[in-house]
Structure 1
Amino acid sequence: MIQTEHCDLCEFPKRDLKKGLTCGLTNKKPDFEVSCPDLKFSNSLKEYLPELLNQIVQLEKRKASIYLNLGLFAGIGLLILFGSYPYLIQNFKQTFDPEFSYLNWNYFLSTLLLSFVGIRLILMGFWPFNNYRKELKELQSEKSKINMVLKNYGIKMETLMNLEKK
């Protein structure tokens, strides 16, 4: 068991560069196995929990728009890419077969630019999607770490938040 996860939720941790993490009550390094007998949950934790849960709820509310954004931009980008591909190949061949032509070169560059626009649209769909997944994963990881520690004390997150309100 990692004691620092318990101490991060407590009101009494002391940290310094020489000794590292010590308990503010015992002035010793934490040495418990499963749970600390002196743990007192900090007020900042009690304030942080509703904020954490609210952030997760707010992020999950954006889920539909994020997926719609991904589908819309990626779909349009793929349509442009696959639609412009035959013209890109055709204009490439006409530009360099049998002799170079500036007019065909311009057509080729136009279809190449159109392909880059398609790729950019696909990326515009995936960028917010990846950020959403990364942020949600971080918040849920934080929540599960706190829940694992609270489980050792037989306390649920909701119970701890309700104690704070009383």
Structure 2
Amino acid sequence: MNKFNHCEICDLHSFNFEDGIICSLTSKRPDFQKKCPDIKLDQNLKDKIIEVNTEFEDSKYVKKLAIGNFVFYSLIGVGVLGICYLLIISLFRLARIHTFTIAVFCIGIGFFGIAIGALNYSRRKRKIISPKKRNLDILTELYNVRYEFDSKISTDIMGIKETKINLRLNGEKIEQTYRY
């Protein structure tokens, strides 16, 4: 694991343009073996737990929506392609070919693109946040920090998400609400 991951959750980290992230106690880059003996875990840890877990829960929420969108738009795509097939058969019997059927076919394929695009977005989002969550969990376990995180995500009719967060960290309870 990268030593700078330890510094991200420590309240004693600092930054300079020459070295990047440094320890404010030693004014040097992190230099320890397995865990930092001088780490101070307070506000940065809380912020990181909330940030990473909120993103992780949001990625699960987006996955559920993406699966629903995939099913919905795939069914519409199949329906439009079915209509296109019936049009082609009807026009073929009349010995005619019309460009309208090509447009209907393209619309049907477009619905499949929308369906797959939502799944790809969900997969990319999950691929980015999963390593962050894994690193945070390893660090909290290493420093014997126990936390319980719960969130409820809802979306209103205008597409604005509201996330209600409940965090219990070493006996302290934190409740927050985010709208984005």
**Is 1:14 the counterpart of 2:4 in the alignment?**
no
The equivalent of 1:49 in structure 2 is 49
The CA deviation at 1:2 is 1.2
What stretches of structure 1 of length at least 5 have no aligned partner?
Answer: 96-103
Q: Determine the C-alpha separation between the residues in 1 that align with 2:62 and 2:112.
A: 19
1:157 and 1:138 map into 2 onto residues whose CA distance is: 22
1:51 deviates by: 4.7
SS in 1 for 2:26: coil
Once residues 132 and 168 of structure 2 are traced to their aligned partners in structure 1, the CA distance between those partners, rounded to angstroms, is: 16
1:15-48 deviations in whole A, cap 9, x for unaligned?
Answer: 2221233211111221111100001124033134
Change (3 A) 1:154 1:133: same
Displacement of 1:5: 0.6
Partner in structure 2 of residue 34 of structure 1: 34
Equivalent of residue 115 in structure 1, options 105, 110, 118: 105
Structure (1 or 2) with the greater helix fraction: 1
TM-score by length of 1: 0.73
Q: 1:124 aligns to what?
A: 114
Identity across aligned pairs (percent)? 25
Over alpha carbons, which structure has the higher Rg?
Answer: 1
- Structure 1 segment 1-166 matched on structure 2, within 5 A: 1-61=1-61, 63-81=63-81, 84-85=84-85, 88=88, 104=96, 107=98, 109-158=99-148, 161-163=168-170, 165=172
Secondary structure (helix, strand or coil) at the match of 2:139 reads: helix
Aligned-residue Cα RMSD (Å) equals 3.2
The count of aligned residue pairs is 155
Distance in 1, Cα, partners of 2:77 & 2:103: 13
1:50 and 1:161 in contact (8 A); partners too: no
**Where is the strand percentage greater, Structure 1 or Structure 2?**
2
Cα distance in 1 for partners of 2:63, 2:29 equals: 43
CA contact (8 A) 1:87 1:111 kept: yes
TM-score normalised by L of structure 2: 0.68
Unaligned runs of 5+ in 2: 150-166, 174-180
